[in-house]
Structure formats: structure tokens, C-alpha cells
Structure 1
Amino acid sequence: MSALDRVLEDLIAGRWILTLEDTADGGTEVVAYRPLGWTGPNPHERIAAPDHDQMRAALVRRQHEGDHVPPSTLTPTRPPTPAPAPRPAVPPPSTPTAAKCGMCNGEGGRWETTDGSTPGKNISRWVPCSGCNGTGEK
């Protein structure tokens, strides 16, 4: 495997990220840097070159003179995915108890609407529960 093949393998495996950055003189340069979460040697390593041909040459030089480590140790590790937040405890549905009326569940009655079907819009009157006579208790 040639040095260029190893460089291409590193790029494909995500061990380097290539991007174009603006220069101070208004031009652009090709920049290679390590991905976020990189655990291999020198996580802040950055290589810059004026064009793609020179970037390939710089990465090949880096491959020859750098601290070449087996690819298995260079594979970036992703940070662990955080566990989802626990769901808030939902109180169980209210069940009638000895102290609550079983017909209205302790509410004492219900609101009656003028159209008979749209709660909260056309509220016309409070109708007390016939089981507890509006007290909510048994």
C-alpha cells in the first residue's frame, strides 16, 4: 500500500477532515484537521496547503515523518450518546376512594355547555352531581 493510499484511507475513515478556509489576502487554502472527539495523537493538529495537490503531498509527508500509528488506534471515537431524559412521573388516573364520590370522582359536578359538546367555550352553568349533591364526598 502506497503512502497516498494510506492518506486516502485515513480521509475515507474520517481520521482527517478537509475544508477550504479564507486567507487574509482574500484567497482560499485547503486545511486538514482532526475531527471533534479525536483521541489519537495530537487532536489539535492542523495542516494547511494552497491547493489540493499540495495538500495531498503534505499529508503524504505527514504519513512518512509523523508518528504513524496503526489505523485501529487512530479511529476517532464518538462521544457517548447521552441517555434520554427520564420522563416525568405521570400520576395515575384518579380513582374513587371512600372519601370521594364515585359518580363525579370528588369534583362535585360538571360544567354544562349551551351546545352540549364544546367544553370550555359555551359554558353556561354548573350542574352539581346527583350522587353527592355537589359536595364531592360520599
Structure 2
Amino acid sequence: MRKVKVAVIGAGTAGLSAYRSARKHTDSVLLMDPGPLGTTCARVGCMPSKLLIAAADAAWHMQHASMFGVSAGQIEIDGANVMQRVRQMRDRFVGKVLKGMESIPEQDRLNEGVRFKSDHLLVFWTKGTGHFS
């Protein structure tokens, strides 16, 4: 059993921001996330999809540049290069998040899944058992 003033569930972008804000007011903060750390948004969600949308948007603008008197010629999309850029940008961002995680004291982190059992009481995922306890 561990008592803290602030429990932050999730080490995504919002969770990391909440942790840092809470630490300005108290040392009794616990950041909980089962991992992998580095934010789901950056790893597989919004960031990769936004980079793909940006590539498609660039191609669309090139295709429609003639209305401005600009010709880009034949437009070709190199899917492998697009995906390489997505991976590079994702990995760079996730790397910065992981570096930021290093600044969080180990005693303030818990790499476990949690859920609320009742008001003000969290239970942790017991690894290997397949249930919360």
C-alpha cells in the first residue's frame, strides 16, 4: 500500500504534463503507466497519421498548383520514403519523451496498469496473474 497526494494515470503527453504540474505543488506524486512509455499518440496514433496526412496534402497542393500558374510536372509519391520520414520523426519525438522520463525520479514512477477500486483507491495489475489486486 502506498499513499500519495496525486496519482497520475498514464505517461502520455497529458500525463507527463500533469505530473510536472503536480510536482510544482507537492513531492507526493506517482506517475503510473504499464508501458511502453513514449506516448501512444507519438508511437502509433495521431503523430504518424498527421505526418501521412501532411504528405498527402503536399501532393494535393502540387497537383493543384497550376491554378497559380505553377507547374510541378509529374507528381510521384515514394511510399517507402514517406514511411521512412514518418518513422524518423516519430522516433525523434519518442526519444525526447523517453529522455524526459529519465528526469522523473524512479520512486515517482510505477510501470503497472491500474484501475479505480473505489474513490481514492487504486488497484494494480498483478503481472503474471491476469488480474488486478
TM-score by length of 2: 0.24
Pick the structure with greater CA Rg.
1
* Structure with greater contact order relative to length (CA < 8 Å, sep ≥ 6): 2
Length-normalised TM-score, structure 1: 0.23
